[in-house]
Structure 1
Amino acid sequence: MTAFPLARRTRRTLLVGAMCTGLAAGLAACGDDPDAGTNGVGRLEPGSIRSRTVEAARSADAVRLAGTVVSGGKTYRLDMRLKDEGGTGSVTTGGTTFGLLRVDEHLYLKAGADFWSHSDDAGARHGAGAGDALDGKYVKVPAGDPSYKRLSTFTDKDVLLDGLLTLHGTLAKGERGTSAGVRTIALTGDDGSGGTLDVSLEGTAYPMRLERAGGAGTLQLTEWGKDFALDEPTSADTVDYGKQLPES
């Protein structure tokens, strides 16, 4: 009388145990998937990842770019906010910091008294107190000035990103990690010697961090798509420097 119910209970216990084991295995498998809950970019081939992140960067309305760039034997520390209409922020090189503001085609430079005081040209144009007269004021950079093209590059989102988001050599996927709290996957050129780009695995596949090839600087790219004010300075904050600015 009791053998049949006992056998049935045993089979039911074994069945429930098997189901639980299978469920646990399935959960473990999900936990081991590095791309679970991501935008799926990590599953793509390296070339496709690069295409996706470059497209995302070009399509973004705005970005903040901060870090160092080594170019022409000089090291520049940048902290720039950029969008299609221009950009604003600061550049430090050779121990000197100056601000840049570009609104459409109008480019302005703002620096402290020390920056201008070290310029013989400034002294000739504005007298001994040139540094004080120009301190903290916006100086409009003439479009024909030799400095215009070089300085405006720091405020041009498309030009700057196209030049920076370049990896050299054979592309490969690297390690997964985080950048600014966002999960990322690394994209490398020649195992890192050609540069390393960390690409977001969350939301849009934006580039988040770049180590340039040959030790030419490291940059963080944040605030993608976050708009910011970009206005011409008032006449009270602007000083006419002259025909040509000093070399920075």
Structure 2
Amino acid sequence: MCVGLVAGATSLAGCSSEDPDAGTNGVGKLSASKIQSKAGRAAEGASAVRLSGTVVSKSHTYSLDMRLKGEGGTGSVTSKGQTFRLLRIGDELYLKADSQFWTHDNGKTDGKSRKADETAAAKLHGKYVKVPQGDPSYEQLSGFTDKDVLLDGMLALHGTLAKGDRGKTGAVRTIKITGDEGAGGTLDVSLEGKPYPLRLERGGHAGTLKLTDWNKDFPLQEPAKDEMVDYGKQLPTS
């Protein structure tokens, strides 16, 4: 017990510290490894999530804004100044971009060849192009739309785990966990409701991501026939 004596009076004010975990889900009391484990299980069990921010992979920077769930995903990816949209429903993957995206620069100087490329690209402007499963780009592009693949790869912290400060991500109270004092990544985990991961700073300056709209469903609808082009076994190349 704490008793503070003041001249002429007895005061108990300030003797008991406020419990930082009062009204929370309690994960702030756990070790860093247990917090990471609980956050991973919460993410795995969620039906949907929105993932936005930047990812640096193999010296390339990607800006993502993807909505993901078990049966597929949809959203935009920007790389090298080019933005394209992805839509996956089951195994069916579609890519939509402007004509500049489809204009291939292979060093051609022949005016007719360039004109032919531009004409072909113009026909694909704003269309969903079906990505064949045998095309080399299918695996990489579909990975951007796969909730489990993205979260498994993104949420891992590297090195010795430690528990950091409490704070807020948006309006939600969070607890921070780090790998190798932040060099291996930093993850903010919700202290309210389920312990969802809400913000990730990837180790090695490999990007920062926000994870929002947990369990908020969204529609996935196949493009109409007049909005889609199917080239068969391979995407168009010049």
Instruction: Identify whether the pair has TM-score above 0.5, normalized to the shorter chain.
Output: yes
CA distance in 1, matches of 2:200, 2:175: 12
Is the CA contact (8 Å cut-off) linking 2:39 and 2:189 kept in structure 1? Answer: yes
Instruction: Deviation per CA, 1:184-213: give whole Å up to 9, x if none.
Output: 110100110000000000110000000001
SS at match of 2:234: coil
Q: Can you give the 5+ residue segments of structure 2 that lack an aligned partner in the other structure?
A: 1-8, 107-112
Measure how far apart 1:131 and its partner are.
Answer: 2.1
Match of residue 140 from structure 1: 130
Measure how far apart 1:118 and its partner are.
Answer: 3.1
Match of residue 79 from structure 2: 93
Measure how far apart 1:176 and its partner are.
Answer: 1.1
Is the CA contact (8 Å cut-off) linking 1:119 and 1:246 kept in structure 2? Answer: no
Is the CA contact (8 Å cut-off) linking 2:99 and 2:118 kept in structure 1? Answer: no
Q: State which structure, 1 or 2, has the greater radius of gyration over its C-alpha atoms.
A: 1
CA distance in 2, matches of 1:127, 1:238: 19
- 2:70 aligned to which of 74, 84, 87: 84
TM-score by length of 1: 0.85
Measure how far apart 1:160 and its partner are.
Answer: 0.6
1:61 equivalent to 2:47? Answer yes
Pick the structure with more helix per residue. 1
Aligned pairs for 1:7-22 (under 5 A) are: 21-22=11-12
RMSD: 2.0
Identity %: 63
Cα 1:192/1:128, change in 2 over 3 Å: closer
Moved over 6 A (4+): none
Is the CA contact (8 Å cut-off) linking 1:102 and 1:108 kept in structure 2? Answer: yes
SS at match of 2:145: coil
CA distance in 2, matches of 1:79, 1:39: 28
Measure how far apart 1:245 and its partner are.
Answer: 2.6
1:75 equivalent to 2:61? Answer yes
Instruction: Deviation per CA, 1:113-137: give whole Å up to 9, x if none.
Output: 11012366xx79x754122210110
TM-score by length of 2: 0.88
